[in-house]
Structure 1
Amino acid sequence: MNIVTAEFSVSSDTFALGQILQNGADVQIELTHFVPIEETLVPYFWAETSDPDAFETSVRADDRVASLTKLDNGSDKTLYQIEWATELDGLLTALQEHDLIVEAATGTADSWRFHVRGPDHGNLTAFQQTCQELGVSIEVHRVRNPNESDTNRYGMSEKQQDAVELAFTDGYFDVPRETTLGDLGDTVGITGQSFARRLARGLHSLIAETLLSDSAR
């Protein structure tokens, strides 16, 4: 089966779940999964915020939410489930319509980043077109076939390529820098020092296979 994956970002203001969960400037959302129930997608997510009571009050007050259920408490975050009172909005409808599985998603009051999996490139293209027709603007960062070799044509491993692309898209190479090695490491679940080594190896391979490809090495 020719499975492909994609990563994209979208403004929190452009889809219902992002709008509903953006209460509080410090809110951090980690989507665990969607469960399809009666032609809708019920989201389960971890929320980290300095004011959980205000967050819960805001979410429950939204007309689009039938219920918000607290399922578990972590050390600094809480697991919730939302049930909808209305039909799905554009982004979630498009994901369901084109058979895309959300493998991971994280969000803040400003934007969300999704990692999705689909049966082929055609589904992803159709998903983008549907989002455009529904007025949902998404920024695609990466499309990949997981069945490809672990080492790409630039000599980088998949994890090294991920590190280089994440550092680039999150502004590590910008002047001034918009993120740190520690933050990038947190994103992928490793220490900043480990991320720095992974990034350095990836950049070494990338430069060697591109800028220095015709030079003696």
Structure 2
Amino acid sequence: MSTPHEDDDLAPTTTPGYKPTAVKSVDEYAQLDANDESLNRWKASLGIVPGAAAPATGPKLTMLTLELHSATLPPGKSIIINLSDTSHLDEIKKSPINIKEGVEYNVRITFQINHSIVTGLRYIQVVKRSGIKVDKLEQMLGSYGPSQTGEPYKKDFEPDESPSGMIARSGTYNVRSRVIDDDNIVYIDFEWAFKLTKEW
């Protein structure tokens, strides 16, 4: 169970004076300023065309995977957390992932937009060791409509370098991750863990 302070850590940053617009359906967006050519190009890039809306049933967004990529990973080795089946999320935090110390890596998330428009989507994670916050990441993902091809969306984060040294290798790092949009809809909130090791 999270405490109010932990939820504050996972709250998205806000821009003073910015207020998200009212939630609209795909068809409402398609009809909005229909004569504006540049707006129509932007809407088309999100798959917003009149009559193309999928039935609005179930969640707007489904998280599929969170992956770690590194050129230093041994051939054939992959680190993928399956998020499409939430029944095993409790097990994820009990089985820390091994991450090699001092290597460059990047995170990729994969998700599916099922219907409607999702605006201001962002990924937030807080890393703690022994209950003390050691890192926070907030990654803006953007705005999306349902994929015209049915293919999931993939977002690669900027490369980062894992810490190194004996102190960094001691203990387990606990991570809480959240995907949230401009309307403060939380699509997934889960915990996982990792350890820094000398080898993958």
Q: Indicate whether the TM-score tops 0.5.
A: no
**TM-score, structure 2 as length reference:** 0.23
Higher helix content, 1 or 2? 1
Which structure's residues are more often strand, by fraction? 2
